[in-house]
C-alpha cells in the first residue's frame, strides 16, 4: 500500500530535524523539475505567525523524508543558502510550474489539465503522478513516469495513460505499478 | 527497579548535608543522544534551577537526595532555559517518525533511577523502546521508521 500526498498538502508542513526534534522552517512551495519528473527541492517560510520567507532552501537530496505531518531533515545543515544550492533549486526556472498545463496523449487526445503533483509519502519527494482536472469537468489522477515531453504549456504522455486515470489517491497508488509494468519500466 | 516521569514530578529534593528541602521536581532534563535523564528541573521560569544527575546521591520513593545545597545551579544555555519555562518537556511532546508521520504524544517515560537511563516511552497503550528515540526538541520527539504505523 502506497501512501500519497499532493504537493498542496505539503505546503505549510513544518521542516523538522530528526536529530534534534526542532522545527526549522515550514514549506512555502514545491520546486519541480518537469523534464525529469522529480522534485528539485522546497522553498521555505520562517516558522510562526506572519513570519515571511526564509532565504534558505531545501534541496531534494537533503530531504530525509516527506510525511503527512512533517518534512524531515537530518539537522540544521540540511538547509542550503540559495547560492550554495544546486542549480534549479537556488534560482528555479520560471517555467517549472506544470500546473495548468494541458495533458495530451501521443494520439492527440487531451486528458485534462494539471491541477497538482502527487508525491510518495515517506520518500525524499518522488513524484508519482499528477492530479488533473479532466476534460469532462471532473477530477482524476494519472501516474508518472508518463510524459514524453514538456513545453511549458503541454505535457505529452503515452496513449496507455488514459487507461490508468483513477478517481482518488488510493486508486493511483494501486495503478502505478501496473502502469509502469505496461510501459516496461519495472 | 524503574521509575516513571509522572511519578517523579512533584517529588521533593532534599540536601543530604543540610537536610533542607530544596523544592519539588518540576521537570526532567533529557539527553536524547545518550538516552538518559541528565538532570532535574526545580521551580519554573526565572526561579527555575537545575540539578545535574551526577549530584543525585539517593533516588527514593519519597524524596530525592542531593549532596548539598550547592547542587542547585542556574539554567545554562538555551535548552535549559527552555526547559525551565516548561517548553522542552518530553512528556506531552508530539511524536513524529523519521518518515514525517505523527503517531501520538508521549504520555510517560520509564527510566532506571540507578543511572537515569531511559527504558521506554509510553504512547497510549504502546510502549516504545528507548532505542527507537532518535532526537527530541521543542517541536517533537522523533522516533525510528520501524515505529511508523502509517506505512
DSSP three-state, residue A91 = coil
pLDDT of residue B60: 92
Closest alpha carbon to B96 in A63, A110, A122: A122
Furthest-apart CA atoms within chain A: distance in Å:
52
ipTM above 0.85, yes or no: no
The string of DSSP codes covering B8-73 is HTT-EEEETTT--EEEEEEEEEEETTTTEEEEEEES-GGG-EEEEGGGEEEE-SSEEEESSGGGEE
For residue A23, give the nearest of B134, B139, B151 by CB distance: B139
pLDDT of residue A85: 81
**Contact with chain B for residue A21, Cβ under 8 A:** yes
pLDDT of residue A49: 73
Neighbouring residues of B47: CB distance < 8 A, sequence distance ≥ 6? none
For residue A14, give the nearest of B93, B134, B139 by CB distance: B139
Grouped pLDDT means (10 residues each) for chain A, 186 residues: 83 95 93 81 87 90 94 95 80 69 91 92 84 91 76 86 89 86 76
DSSP three-state, residue A30 = strand
Q: How many CB atoms lie within 10 A of CB B149?
A: 9
Determine, for residues A23 and B135 on separate chains, whether the beta-carbon distance falls below 8 Å.
no
Min Cα–Cα distance to chain A from B58, Å: 30
Q: Is the pLDDT reported for residue B143 higher than 90? A: yes
Nearest CA in chain A to B33: A19
For residue A70, give the nearest of B96, B135, B148 by CB distance: B96
**What is the average per-residue pLDDT within B120-138?**
92
| Contact between B142 and B132 (Cβ < 8 Å) | no
Omega within 30 of 0 (cis) for the link into A145: yes
For residue A16, list chain B residues with Cβ-Cβ distance below 8 A. Answer: 96, 100, 139-140, 142
**pLDDT tens track for B79-106:** 888 888 877 788 999 999 999 999 999 9
Which pLDDT band, with edges at 50, 70 and 90, does B116 fall under? very high
Q: How many CB atoms lie within 10 A of CB B4?
A: 16
Determine, for residues B138 and A21 on separate chains, whether the beta-carbon distance falls below 8 Å.
yes
Amino acid at each position: 500500500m502506497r501512501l500519497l500526498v499532493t504537493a498542496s498538502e505539503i505546503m505549510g508542513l513544518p521542516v523538522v530535524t530528526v536529530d534534534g526534534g526542532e522545527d526549522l522552517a515550514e514549506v512555502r512551495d514545491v520546486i519541480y523539475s518537469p523534464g525529469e519528473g522529480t522534485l528539485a527541492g522546497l522553498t521555505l517560510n520562517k516558522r510562526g505567525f506572519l513570519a515571511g520567507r526564509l532565504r534558505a532552501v531545501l534541496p531534494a537530496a537533503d530531504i530525509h523524508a516527506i510525511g503527512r505531518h512533517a518534512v524531515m531533515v537530518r539537522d540544521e545543515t540540511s538547509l542550503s543558502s540559495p547560492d550554495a544550492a544546486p542549480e534549479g533549486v537556488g534560482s528555479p526556472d520560471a517555467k517549472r510550474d506544470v500546473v495548468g498545463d494541458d495533458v495530451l496523449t501521443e494520439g492527440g487526445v487531451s486528458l485534462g489539465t494539471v491541477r497538482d503533483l502527487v508525491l510518495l509519502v515517506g520518500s525524499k519527494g518522488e513524484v508519482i503522478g499528477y492530479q488533473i482536472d479532466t476534460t469532462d469537468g471532473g477530477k482524476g489522477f494519472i501516474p508518472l513516469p508518463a510524459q514524453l515531453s514538456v513545453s511549458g504549456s503541454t505535457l505529452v504522455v503515452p496513449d496507455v495513460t488514459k487507461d490508468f486515470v483513477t478517481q482518488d489517491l488510493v486508486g493511483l497508488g494501486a495503478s502505478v505499478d501496473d502502469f509502469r509494468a505496461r510501459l516496461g519500466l519495472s | 527497579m524503574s521509575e516513571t516521569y509522572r511519578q517523579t514530578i512533584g517529588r521533593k529534593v532534599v540536601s543530604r548535608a543540610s537536610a533542607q528541602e530544596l523544592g519539588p521536581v518540576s521537570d526532567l532534563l533529557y539527553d536524547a543522544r545518550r538516552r538518559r535523564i541528565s538532570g532535574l528541573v526545580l521551580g519554573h521560569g526565572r526561579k527555575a534551577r537545575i540539578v545535574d544527575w551526577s549530584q543525585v546521591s539517593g533516588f527514593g520513593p519519597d524524596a530525592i537526595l542531593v549532596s548539598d545545597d550547592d547542587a542547585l545551579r542556574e539554567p545554562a544555555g538555551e535548552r535549559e532555559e527552555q526547559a525551565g519555562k516548561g517548553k522542552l518537556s518530553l512528556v506531552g511532546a508530539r511524536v513524529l517518525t523519521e518518515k514525517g508521520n505523527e503517531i501520538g504524544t508521549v504520555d510517560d517515560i520509564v527510566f532506571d533511577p540507578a543511572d537515569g537511563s531511559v527504558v521506554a516511552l509510553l504512547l497510549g497503550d504502546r510502549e516504545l523502546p528507548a532505542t527507537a528515540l532518535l532526537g527530541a526538541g521543542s517541536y517533537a520527539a522523533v522516533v525510528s521508521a520501524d515505529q511508523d504505523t502509517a506505512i
